[in-house]
Structure formats: C-alpha cells, structure tokens
Structure 1
Amino acid sequence: MNYTYIVECGDGSLYTGWTNNLEKRIQAHNAGKGAKYTKSRLPVKLVYLETFATKEEAMSREYAIKHMKRKEKLQLIENRAEIFNI
C-alpha cells in the first residue's frame, strides 16, 4: 500500500508527503530524520491520509496537494474528518 499524507507541524504549518510505510515515516519525521522541512518544526501530527495501489499514484497526488493553497488543504483535511467523524 502507498500513502499520501499531510502532517501538521509543531508551528502549525502543513507538510505533504508520500510513503509506503506510514508508521515508520511519521516516526522518522518526529525523530528529526524525516524531511528537511519538518526537522525544525517538530513534533508532527498526522492530519490527513489517502491510500493508493501504486507509488506513482501516491506521488502524483502528493504533487497535486503540494500545489494547493493552504485554505484548500485545510478544507481537504476538514472534509476527511467529517467523513470519518473525527
């Protein structure tokens, strides 16, 4: 399984990435071994997730989300939370 995810950083900013091992990737971010962007913005908290069958699909979705405005990302997060009653 491949994942596109958004984490909220300790400073309130959002970071979007993709991985094939979500738990390991979030742990890496919080250990300061994830993306350069998140290293100085710890801790991170998973706020959004999509699953895909292929790496290419996950990477394509990551690219699309990274080009969204913050307001659009927050709406995406809010809509997903409503679906799952979070």
Structure 2
Amino acid sequence: MSWFLYLLECNNGAYYAGITNDLDARFAAHVSGKGARYTRANPPIKIIASKPYLDRSGASIAEAQLKSLPRHKKLQYFDE
C-alpha cells in the first residue's frame, strides 16, 4: 500500500498539506467538510501536488519537512 503526501490550494489562497493512503477519498472528505478543521473553514479548490511514499512513516517525515518550508518553496519540494 502506498501513502501520499499532498498539497491542496484552499479558497483563501493558502496551502494545506497532509498525508493519506487514498488521495481521492481524502480530497473528497476535505471538500465535503469532513476533513481537517482547517479545510472545514477554508475549503480546498484543488490538489496542486502529490508524491507517493512506500509507508506512512516516510510520508509523515516528508509532511513535517514540507510544513517547515516557506510557502514559495513548497511546490519545489515535490520536484525533488
């Protein structure tokens, strides 16, 4: 089973990062208001990037690294 690090663009222009093992279902949960508290208040517009990982541990580490970056470097993280 693969895990994914993903980056959403929200309706307020902000980015939201998370991990999941089912990207389509997780995005649908965010859109319907059943995802994270942040995306309930700021619904996502689209998935702007995603990257697969072999396991949850790897995806969690990548999520922490991504969240520590300034906004202008977040998309570049997915090219590495």
Calculate the TM-score normalised by the size of structure 2: 0.90
**Structure 1 unmatched runs, 5+:** 81-86
**Unpaired runs of 5+ in structure 2?**
none
Indicate the residue corresponding to 2:48 in structure 1: 47
Report what 1:4 is aligned to. 5
Count of residues paired in the alignment? 78
Corresponding position of 1:83: none
TM-score calculated relative to the size of structure 1: 0.84
Asked if the contact 2:20–2:26 (Cα under 8 Å) also holds between the matched residues in 1, the reply is yes
Aligned partners of 1:7 and 1:44 also within 8 Å: yes
Q: What code does the residue aligned with 1:6 have?
A: L
Question: By how many angstroms is 1:40 displaced?
Answer: 1.1
1:14 aligns with 2:11: no
- Identical-pair percentage: 33
Structure 1 stretches (4+) deviating beyond 2 angstroms?
Answer: none
Give secondary structure in 2 for the equivalent of 1:16: strand
C-alpha separation between the residues in 2 aligned to 1:11 and 1:24? Answer: 22
